[in-house]
Amino acid sequence: MSTTDRLIPDRLRSPMEQRLKSWETLLLLVAIGIFVANSFASPYFLNAWNLSDATFNFTEKAMIAFAMALLIISGEIDLSVASIIALASTAMGAAVQIGVGTPGLVLIGLSVGLLCGAFNGVLVTRMGLPSIVVTIGTMSLFRGISYIVLGDQAFRGYPESFSWFGQGYVWWVISFEFVLFAIIAVIYGVLLHKTNFGRSVYAIGNNATGAMFSGIRVQRVKFILFLLTGLMSGVAAICLTARLGSTRPSIATGWELEVVTMVVLGGVSILGGSGTIVGVVIAAFVMGLVTFGLGLLNVPGIVMSIVIGALLIGVIALPRLWSMWRAR
Amino acid sequence: MLQHTDTALPSQGMTLDQAVLALHGITKTFPGVKALSEVSLSLYPGQVTALIGENGAGKSTVVKILTGIYQPNGGDILVDGHPTPFPTPQAAADNGVTAIHQETVLFDELSVGENIFLGHAPRGAFGLIDRKKTTQMARTLLDSIGANLDPDLKLKDLGIANKHLVAIARALSIEARVVIMDEPTAALSHKEIEELYELVESLKAQGKAILFISHKFDEIFRIADNFTVFRDGQLIGDGAISDVTEAELVKMMVGRDVSQIFPKRTPNVGAPVLSVSGYAHPTEFEDINFTLRKGEILGFYGLVGAGRSEFMQSLFGITRPSAGSVEIDGTAVDIKSPADAVDNGIVYVPEDRGKQGAILDLPIFQNVTLPSLGRISNKGFLKLAEEFKLAREYTERLDLRAASLDTHVGNLSGGNQQKVVIAKWLATQPKVIILDEPTKGVDIGSKAAVHEFMAELAAQGLAVIMVSSEIPEVLGMSDRVIVMREGRIVAELADADLQPETLVRHAAGI
């Protein structure tokens, strides 16, 4: 602690060292463990086409999870995402009935997503309502509209070209959805980690008052995040509807919690302020692999949700248990 | 028994074994930092011991060890001469140690009485909290410290000074033998400080041992019996306060002679930069008119609650005014948010560093560049090398002390946190910088550095507004002083009118 001229180093630990000791590394080990366990448990697991099929378990949810990750890091949440899928899908289904073609359908899907996101965003950022309350409200509201329109009916008759968004393959076993998932992952990774906008998101999540006092336009950033979550729900609605080929009002029921689970499993603090896109990508694979592996072993869906729940609690409790054990 | 050589005996013939509470050879390390190195400290019944040291000297660490929050890596805590570990805050409380912290955690939605007895409220039938008794006991306790407060009021309805009294009452609600006061007068006005001194006297008379942490030498000499000086986690000296002079204490504290004289400056006042007219808010302030010039330091003096901070925050775009206009360089501007203020060259260093000034959980470099992201990026994409360069440039100008630029701001001492906040704003190359109580909770060494720096900024042509409640600082630094009372400007003083009595007279309205 001399008083003479000193140079403060940029960092004490290199970014690589920080990365190695991170949550993401732990999660990656879990993912590899599950992969290995699965390949021993079922002879059908190590098959390119089966693995390709497995990606559909998470690609659509993960697209939303990336936007949700930013929203949660900023200290907000959107629980209406699955209902936005329902509303966007219903709007597309209705449009099909009056003969709208594939480009029109995509436009409608994206627009409904954006509009729903804007609605949430206005309520939270303009009126200052808590996002968890607002989006629990719009969760019922958006899906409620789908139920009024459809009742116990379904919209069908999507054009052949539209189904490519959910069933098409770009090359060999690589599906369009998987490619889209990868592109969106990169976009959000860059947005969060390499841009001014991403830095503002972290600042807001750590201390919204401090961020405002530092000249960050907090409400504007949050509004954009709601727009993005809505937009991604619209994208997921297009893929899912194209994959299923029909729209029922119960489409994507319960996905909001699976998306949030994926985000939290990926190491994003539910209290805001920290987390990475890489973590969410790995978490998406973990959830996909677990679901797929259990599916191959003919484990029923109810048991799967138990396993996912246990996995979430286990992976989150693990580092804590480890440090408690070491402190003894 | 004493390990160090330059120790005088405690006053009034007390010896170490009469200490109610003592630390002996305490060491505490954190990853990469030795916060305390074999320090000792003794507290005697009926005496006030002042703990003195710069920010980062280890005072807060000592408080946390004495209250069972931190565990030392070596050394003993002695209660009545017997080694007694404090593994938990509860253990410290059971041994009669209580603390009034700089920022005590109180609960806005609970009543005064509930806050005081939270965790050990009197129980009635079925083990439920006895409300009546809580109120009654709270009233007795509040009366004993001379606080005339209704125990049933919700805490959020109290002002900051009264909240402080609740915090004191809470600390005294356990059977305390040792009372630790961590900068208790930092947020108080003159009258309240006097009342606090009376309280300290009455605690002394009750035979309680008091550890008093303060940056203010006048109060140390007024109320302390003994002193202990820390520097860089080491015990530098201790003894009876009557045996030392202020200059000696300062020298022990900083390890060198520090002139407490304010930097000499020849103000080079230029063209008007900021002019405010008819500025008003429905409840906080009204009819504010003044002009600020280039290179000028304009002091804003007033009592706590005079509306100075509220006005500054409005100028910075936090709250909207109900009337009035603001001109920068002769052009009318409409500031709707802090972002607008920054764009127009007005920046604000708030009083509340932890909540408003800095983002404690982010690293230093990210705090510094936060308002300047546009300058270190290309089309919205961050350039990390430029970011570090900018952060380094401004933190070095302020002589920041930190392990690395990647250190979280929350891990820095108060003075260094303040340097980060100031560096953050200078990096935006502002025209007007508003400093709200810039040296509050800042140690004497950093204080002088902040003053030097303000003078330097003014010399470079920046227009500086300094809100301060410390008269020496206001008089020592300002070219001109505006006094506010009850939300209005009551006086604008310069040159010969800048006298302590004049300031106080205008501020108090007498």
Q: Is the pTM of this model over 0.80?
A: no
**Residue B398 Cα, gap to closest chain A Cα (Å):** 12
Q: What fold characterizes domain B1-96+177-256? A: Rossmann fold (3.40.50)
Q: Is-contact B434 B274, C-beta < 8 A?
A: no
B338 with A212: Cβ contact below 8 A: yes
Nearest neighbour of A207 by CB, restricted to B338, B359, B382: B359
Interface of B with A in 367-426 (CB under 8 A): 367, 370-371, 373-374, 377, 380-382, 388, 392, 395-396, 400-407, 424
B338 with A194: Cβ contact below 8 A: no
Q: Which residue has the tokens 């980060």?
A: B420
Sheet of strand B331-333: strand arrangement: B288-293, B272-280, B323-328, B331-333
B338 with A215: Cβ contact below 8 A: yes
The tens-digit pLDDT sequence of chain B (510 residues) is: 334 434 444 444 445 558 899 999 999 987 656 788 899 999 999 999 999 887 667 888 899 999 998 999 999 999 998 899 999 988 998 899 998 876 667 888 889 988 888 877 788 777 788 888 888 888 988 888 877 888 888 988 887 778 878 888 888 888 889 999 988 776 666 777 888 888 889 889 888 999 998 877 778 898 999 999 988 788 999 999 999 988 888 778 776 555 556 777 777 888 999 999 999 998 889 999 999 999 999 999 987 778 899 999 999 999 999 999 999 999 999 999 999 999 999 999 998 888 899 999 999 999 999 999 989 999 999 999 999 999 999 998 888 888 889 999 988 877 888 899 999 999 999 999 999 998 876 777 778 888 888 998 999 899 999 998 877 888 889 999 999 988 899 999 988 888 877 887 888 776
Residue boundaries of the structural domains of chain B: 1-96+177-256, 105-174, 295-345+431-510, 347-429
Neighbours of B256 (CB within 10 A): 9
Q: Which residue has the tokens 């005064």?
A: B112
What whole-number distance in Å separates Cα of residue B32 and Cα of residue B14? 38
Query: What are the tokens at A10?
Result: 């940029």
Interface of B with A in 222-251 (CB under 8 A): 232
B371 with A196: Cβ contact below 8 A: no
What whole-number distance in Å separates Cα of residue A10 and Cα of residue B395? 12
Going by C-beta distance under 8 Å and a sequence separation of 6 or more, which residues neighbour residue A44? A50, A296
Interface membership of B44 toward A (CB under 8 Å): no
Query: What are the tokens at A184?
Result: 């969106």
What whole-number distance in Å separates Cα of residue B24 and Cα of residue B366? 40
Q: Is-contact A189 B345, C-beta < 8 A?
A: no
The verdict on residue A163 lying in a domain is yes
Of the candidates A276, A48, A74, which has an alpha carbon nearest to the alpha carbon of residue A178? A48
Q: Is-contact B331 B417, C-beta < 8 A?
A: no
Q: Domain B295-345+431-510 is in which class? A: alpha beta
DSSP codes joined into one string, A172-204: TTEEHHHHHHHHHHHHHHHHHHHBHHHHHHHHH
Q: Which domain holds residue A293?
A: 24-319
Burial of B29: CB neighbours in 10 Å, binned 0-12, 13-18, 19+: middle
Question: If DSSP codes are grouped into helix, strand and coil, which group holds residue B412?
Answer: coil
Q: How far is CA B228 from CA B80, B247, B257, B469, in A?
A: 19, 15, 18, 27
Q: Is-contact B165 B145, C-beta < 8 A?
A: yes
Nearest neighbour of A213 by CB, restricted to B357, B374, B380: B357
**Residue A133 Cα, gap to closest chain B Cα (Å):** 21
- The domain tally of chain A equals 1
- Give this complex's ipTM: 0.86
The verdict on residue A94 lying in a domain is yes
B362 with A11: Cβ contact below 8 A: no
Alpha helix (H) ranges present in A151-276? 164-167, 176-194, 196-206, 208-213, 218-244, 255-265
What whole-number distance in Å separates Cα of residue B90 and Cα of residue B97? 10
| CATH architecture, range B347-429 | 3-Layer(aba) Sandwich (3.40)
pLDDT (tens digit, 9 = 90+) per residue, A221-248? 999 999 999 999 999 999 999 999 999 9
The sign of the CA dihedral A126, B319, B420, B412 is negative
Chains A, B: CB contacts under 8 A, how many?
103
The verdict on residue A28 lying in a domain is yes
Query: What are the tokens at A225?
Result: 């995040």
- Whichever domain contains A248, its CATH number is 1.10.3470
Nearest neighbour of B371 by CB, restricted to A12, A197, A215: A215
Burial B214-243 (b: 16+ CB within 10 A, else e): bbebebbbebbbbbbbbbbbbbbbbbbbee
What whole-number distance in Å separates Cα of residue B116 and Cα of residue B110? 10
A8 with B362: Cβ contact below 8 A: no
**Residue B406 Cα, gap to closest chain A Cα (Å):** 5
Task: Pick the residue of B362, B397, B408, B429 with the most A CBs within 10 A to test the interface with A by mutation.
Answer: B362
The backbone torsions φ and ψ at residue B473, rounded to the nearest 5 degrees and listed phi first, read -65, -45
